[in-house]
Amino acid sequence: MWKWLHPYAKPERSYQLASTLLPWFSVLSITTLLIGIIWALGFAPVDYQQGESYRIIYVHVPAATLSMSVYMAMATAALVSMVWQLKLADAAAAAMAPIGAVLTTIALITGAAWGKPMWGTWWVWDARLTSELILLFLYLGIIALHNAFDDKVLAGRAAGILTLVGVVNIPIIKYSVEWWNTLHQGATISKLDKPSMSTDMLLPLLVNILGFVLMIGAITLIRFRNEVIARNAMRPWVKELIAKELK
């Protein structure tokens, strides 16, 4: 059943696959994001409570939700590499960590920029913002651990273990931060998750989320190719690649 997948365990095949997929992802993500952002900024109706400032959610929500999904994808890759000893899964996880960190940073900055007009301060210790901040720390830890090893293969395995430890901890951290938040502030009004959003507001958001997914895919492919090259520097196919690209 999974036989068709086996050739892709070979670095060369995966590299070629990534190269063929990359243009599709890039073009699709750029067009989707352009449509989504123009729609969000220029055409979506205004929110009667928050005014135009609500347009920030069109970046904030995709970045925040997908920052978590990227971590889950990394954890899946780490698990795959542990269970099946698939080195390429480590390369994929390593490729995704900086993307996750950037998404978390975007979610934090846009959260703060949205909080200033709404709450009156740049930062509140809101449960979501706090757990997003902790998620950023987890990402930074994984990246730092990855950079600390000279040997890429060892780095991938060590970072994989840390990722899995983190994935066990994330629900606990999330739960504890939420509990801590209600303890100290009473129920905060989370204005970011409006239960009922009108369709003409929701549609551009969905388009943007799709655009972000495609963009994450494209950047992952770019970084995945780098990781594969770095791990296979001595292979003949990399030599051919160099001969072809750097004359």
Number of residues forming the site for other proteins (CB under 8 A): 69
Q: What is the Cα–Cα distance from 229 to 131, expressed in whole angstroms?
A: 35
Burial class (CB in 10 A: 0-12, 13-18, 19+), 183: exposed
Token representation of residue 24: 């599709």
Q: How many CB atoms lie within 10 A of CB 233?
A: 10
Q: How far apart are CA 155 and CA 211, in angstroms?
A: 31
In the region spanning residues 7 to 36, those forming contacts with other proteins, defined by CB under 8 A, are none
Which residue number, 10 or 239, has a Cβ lying nearer to other proteins? 239
Q: Is 47 helix (H, G, I), strand (E, B) or coil?
A: strand
Site for other proteins in 48-77 (CB under 8 A): 51-53, 55-56, 59-60, 63
Residues 119/129, Cβ–Cβ less than 8 Å = no
Q: Rule CB under 8 A: is residue 166 a binding residue for other proteins?
A: yes
Q: Which of 224, 210, 244, 243 is nearest to 77 (CA)?
A: 224
User: Candidates 9-17, 65-73, 101-109, 189-197 — which segment interacts with other proteins by CB under 8 A?
Assistant: 101-109
Q: Which is nearer to other proteins, 129 or 215 (CB)?
A: 215
Across the strands, what pairs with 51? 47
Question: Among 47, 62, 68, which Cα is nearest to 118's?
Answer: 47
In terms of CB distance, is 7 or 148 closer to other proteins?
Answer: 148
144 interacts with other proteins by CB under 8 A:
yes
Q: Closest approach of Cβ 4 to other proteins, in Å?
A: 28
Q: Binding of other proteins at residue 91 (CB under 8 A)? A: no
Q: Which residues bind other proteins (CB under 8 A)?
A: 37, 41-46, 51-53, 55-56, 59-60, 63, 82, 98-99, 102, 105-106, 109-110, 113-114, 116-117, 134, 137-138, 140-141, 144-145, 148-149, 154, 157-158, 161-162, 164-166, 168-169, 172-173, 175-177, 179-180, 183, 215, 219, 222-223, 225-226, 229-230, 233, 238-239, 241-242, 245-246
